[in-house]
Chains A and B, each alone.
Chain A
Amino acid sequence: MTESTSVVAAKGLGLTFDTGDGAVQALSDVDLDITRGEFVSFIGPSGCGKTTFLRVIADLEQPTAGTITVNGTTPDKARKDRAYGYVFQAAALYPWRTIARNVALPLEIMGYSKGEQQRRIASTLDMVNLTGFENKYPWQLSGGMQQRASIARALAFDADLLLMDEPFGALDEIVRDHLNEQLLDLWAKTEKTICFVTHSIPEAVYLSTKIVVMSPRPGRVTDVIDSPLPKVRPLDIREAPEFLEIAARVREGLRAGHSYEEA
Chain B
Amino acid sequence: MGRLAEGRLVPVLTVVLAIVVIWYGFSVLLNTPWQQGVYARADQAGVGLFQYLADVYSQQRPVLPAPHQVAVEFWNSVVNANPATPRSLIFHAWITISATGLGFLFGTVLGIVLAVLIVHNRAVDRSLMPWVIASQTIPILAIAPMIVVVLNSVGLTGLIPKALISTYLSFFPVVVGMVKGFRSPDALQLDLMRTYNASGAQVFWKLRWPSAIPYLFTSMKVGVAASLVGAIVGELPTGAAGGLGSRLLAGSYYGQTTQIWAALLMAAALSAGLIMLIGAVQVLTQRAMGARA
Measured CB to CB, the residues of A under 8 A from B are 58-60, 79-80, 82, 84-86, 88, 90, 92, 94-98, 105-106, 108-110, 137, 139
Given A96-B210, A98-B290, A139-B292, the answer on whether A88 and B198 have CB atoms closer than 8 Å is: no
B134 is an interface residue with CB less than 8 A from chain A: no
Cβ of A92 and Cβ of B196 under 8 Å apart?
no
**Given the complex of chains A and B, what is the CA–CA distance between A139 and B290 in angstroms?**
9
Residue of B nearest to A150 (CB): B192
Tier of interface size on chain B: 10 to 19
Measured CB to CB, the residues of B under 8 A from A are 188-189, 191-198, 202, 206-207, 210, 213, 289-292
| Chain A residues near B207 (CB-CB < 8 A) | 94
- Kindly provide the distance from the CB of B189 to the nearest chain A CB, expressed in whole angstroms: 6
Cβ of A109 and Cβ of B202 under 8 Å apart?
yes
| Chain B residues near A110 (CB-CB < 8 A) | 196
| Chain A residues near B290 (CB-CB < 8 A) | 95-98, 137, 139
Main secondary structure of the interface of B (DSSP, over half): helix
Cβ-Cβ contact count across A and B, 8 Å cutoff: 50
Main secondary structure of the interface of A (DSSP, over half): loop
| Chain A residues near B210 (CB-CB < 8 A) | 94, 96
Cβ of B191 and Cβ of A88 under 8 Å apart?
yes
**Given the complex of chains A and B, what is the CA–CA distance between A84 and B210 in angstroms?**
26
Cβ of A92 and Cβ of B192 under 8 Å apart?
yes
Q: Which one of B189, B192, B206 lies within 8 Å of A108 (CB-CB)?
A: B206
- Kindly provide the distance from the CB of B199 to the nearest chain A CB, expressed in whole angstroms: 8
Residue of B nearest to A79 (CB): B197
- Kindly provide the distance from the CB of A245 to the nearest chain B CB, expressed in whole angstroms: 36
Residue of A nearest to B186 (CB): A92
Q: What are 20 sample pairs from A and B whose C-beta atoms fall under 8 A apart?
A: A59-B194, A60-B191, A82-B196, A85-B195, A86-B191, A86-B195, A88-B188, A88-B192, A92-B189, A92-B192, A94-B210, A95-B289, A95-B290, A95-B291, A96-B290, A105-B206, A109-B193, A109-B202, A109-B206, A110-B196
Cβ of B196 and Cβ of A106 under 8 Å apart?
yes
Residue of B nearest to A108 (CB): B206
- Kindly provide the distance from the CB of A73 to the nearest chain B CB, expressed in whole angstroms: 14
**Given the complex of chains A and B, what is the CA–CA distance between A9 and B189 in angstroms?**
27
Given A96-B210, A98-B290, the answer on whether A109 and B198 have CB atoms closer than 8 Å is: yes
**Given the complex of chains A and B, what is the CA–CA distance between A161 and B25 in angstroms?**
78
**Given the complex of chains A and B, what is the CA–CA distance between A215 and B145 in angstroms?**
71
